[in-house]
Amino acid sequence: MEKLIKFALQTIRGTAPSVVIMDIGLNDLCDKDADPDTVALSILALVELLLKDLQLICFVLSQVLPRKNQPFSGYNRRVWHLNGLLKEAFKSDPGAKFWLHPGLCNPLQNIFTRDGIHLNDEGHQALY
């Protein structure tokens, strides 16, 4: 998460946008000791910082995607818990939106490469 914050701040400040759409993969949850509540707080702190610091009109955060090949049992439950926390938190901020990808929540076809983590061509098409 620290790398994301540093990268996001450096990159986004340099372009001075009024709207930011962020899609994160979030390897942080791959650590069995990682707490989704703490990760959510870190993400929300970044969003708040960007909204205030850059005076954004709108910030959109895309859902964290579950994985076909989970790094450990229960990983995807953590992902859905994190997404639920973020979705709920974004309800109270008119400048921030949480986006659930319709084509990626319950896909009818395989959207992952062989590693079960990254999106294949069909997955990228659904993402776009």
Domain layout of the chain by residue ranges? 2-127
pLDDT at 124 over 80: yes
Q: Which residue has the higher pLDDT, 77 or 28?
A: 77
| Cross-strand pairs, 58 | 19
Average pLDDT over residues 53-70: 89
Q: Is the pLDDT of residue 34 over 70?
A: yes
Q: Is 3.40.50.1110 the CATH classification of the domain at 2-127?
A: yes
77-117 pLDDT tens trace:
999 999 999 999 999 888 899 999 887 877 788 999 999 88
Given its phi and psi angles, is residue 113 left (phi above 0), alpha (psi -120 to 50 degrees) or beta? Answer: beta
**Helices and strands (DSSP H and E) totals, the chain:** 5, 3
Nearest CA among 90, 65, 87 for reference residue 76: 65
